[in-house]
Amino acid sequence: MTYKIDQERAPIYETLANYARTGIYGFHTPGHKGGRFAAAEITELVGRSGLALDLPGMTATDNTFHPTGCVRDAQELAAELFGAAATFYLSAGSTLGIATALMAAAPQGGTVALPRNIHRSVVAGLVLSGASPRFVPHEVLPECGALGVTPVSLAAALDSEPKPAAVLLTRPSYYGLARDLEDVAAVCHERRVPLIVDEAHGAHLHFLPPGSPQPAIAAGADLAVQSCHKTLGSLVGSAQLHVGRESVIEPGRVQEALNFLQTTSPSFLLLASLDVMRRWMWREGRELFAAAVEEARRLEDEIDSLPGLKVFRPEGDPRLAGHRRDPLRVVVNVSGTGWSGYEVERYLRTEFRVEDEMADWFNVVYILSPRDDAGATQRLLAGLRAISEQHNTGAGTPRLAEDAVSSYLLQPPVPPLAMSPRAAALANKATVALDSAAGRTCAEMVMFYPPGIPLLMPGEMVTRETIEVCRKLLAAGAHPYASDPTLETVRVVE
């Protein structure tokens, strides 16, 4: 460490606030000049104090490329709190962290072992790094989506040729499920293969009560990427990348990769929000989250008492041995009501003014936080109660029975890889009708968001099975993310 650790400090915030108080007038960027040249709506959005602190990277405020001042100090404080060897603050979300981690760990032409439940940012990282995927098989359940990969399946993938340069896992999943990581990390360490964990939805794990999933860095990950804005209260787009204390990836390699990808104009408001969030969590994090977990348990008990609704609780389920769940991610299975999760999502949004994190055929997923609005929680209960009461009246749409047994909706077959993601993404492209794309090589990402798991990624062959899954999801009201928002067409390699 370069200075005495003092978790009561907030170095970035203090630097910005002190600079603003000096009265120095900046004949430099940004153009709003502390709010003097800003639309009234921008002032309303950010406030005059926020605009005064919206400063650029410069000598007085440090930088994120080669930090020597407040950014360095704040990152060292974060590393100390979260148990990392080094921490890098990110102002472009976990997407930037995932791409950085893959570029630091996987050489061009290398292979990355990973399950299929990956975020689109992983595909972008593969394109940027030039690596290709090797998918590790894993189980999927309708109650909770993808399960964690096992040490046996991961060892088989790592012992195949060509040997993967890195492993990337998503943990916790979009449903809050996290398999214990120590045995999987041991498989990686025995082979000197770095383990990257996309922990975008798990920044708060460090502050949860005993019995909750262990943070990835504490469990042996080499690199872990966290979206602090998702669960820790920093501003949207703020994230951090941790390097494990026993990592085979040196912090210098991470900084070098990050410097190829990050902007020279990071938002210091986002960085400052990470800084003060860290101080707040050091002061009160465990107390705040302990109270939130108790509130979540009471809410889940009330939901579970409603006929036709079932809260996902893995405790005691032999299929989920070795898995834990995020106690603040409430997954409600609605299939017993005859409604799909997509229908429940729309109904509660329009009739009860509550929005979920995501929905699928069978579930709706809600993320709870410390200090959630009690009135909104009661509206959520009222909406779910209405769903429960209508399931005997025919108001719902009980059409899930056939689809519930269609395994390809839970885990569509992984399309064959015809070329590397990078080669396909950079190739000349043609736009063709989705229904006539079978046998062609996809040149874009096709997914439904949330959760954003690709059905097709660049380099994969379009199959009839994948087209059928797309049609089913569109009919159910899922939201496609593709160059054609109707998904009537798709881009393929010429």
pLDDT in tens, 271-301: 999 999 999 999 999 999 999 999 999 999 9
How far apart are alpha carbons 32 and 17 in whole angstroms? 17
Which tokens hold the place of 247?
A: 């990592």
Residue 403: the pLDDT is 46
Per-residue model confidence as pLDDT tens digits over 248-261: 999 999 999 999 99
Per mean pLDDT, which range of 7-16, 182-191, 314-323, 375-384 is the poorest? 314-323
Average pLDDT of the chain?
92
Span 168-176, mean pLDDT?
Answer: 95
How far apart are alpha carbons 183 and 48 in whole angstroms? 51
* CATH code, residues 11-281: 3.40.640.10
Which tokens hold the place of 414?
A: 């992984």
Q: What are the φ and ψ backbone dihedral angles of 168, each rounded to 5 degrees?
A: -130, 125
Residues paired with 224 in a beta bridge? 197, 242
**pLDDT band, residue 167 (cuts 50/70/90):** very high
Work out the angle at residue 260's Cα, subtended by the Cα atoms of residues 419 and 427, and round it to the nearest 5 degrees.
25
Would you say residue 105 has pLDDT above 90?
yes
Span 30-42, mean pLDDT?
Answer: 93
Element (H, E) at 417: none
Report the percentage of the chain scoring pLDDT > 70. Answer: 95
**pLDDT band, residue 21 (cuts 50/70/90):** very high
Its pTM stands at 0.93
Would you say residue 400 has pLDDT above 70?
no
* CATH code, residues 286-400: 3.90.1150.10
Residue 404: the pLDDT is 44
Which tokens hold the place of 361?
A: 């055929």
Residue ranges per domain, the chain?
11-281, 286-400, 412-493
Tally: H helices and E strands in the chain: 17, 20
Assess contact for 480 and 452: CB atoms under 8 A. Answer: no
Assess contact for 112 and 99: CB atoms under 8 A. Answer: no
Task: Tell me 486's DSSP state.
Answer: T
Assess contact for 424 and 441: CB atoms under 8 A. Answer: yes
Instruction: Decide which of 335 and 392 is more confident.
Output: 335
Three-state secondary-structure class, residue 100: helix
Residue 143: the pLDDT is 81
Per-residue model confidence as pLDDT tens digits over 54-100: 999 999 999 999 999 999 999 999 999 999 999 999 999 999 999 99
Which tokens hold the place of 393?
A: 């009246």
Instruction: Please give the span between the terminal C-alpha atoms of the chain, in angstroms, as a whole number.
Output: 53
Residue 402: the pLDDT is 38
Instruction: Decide which of 334 and 474 is more confident.
Output: 334
Choose which CATH entry (3.40.50.970, 3.10.580.10, 3.90.100.10, 3.40.50.720) describes domain 412-493: 3.90.100.10
Assess contact for 269 and 235: CB atoms under 8 A. Answer: yes
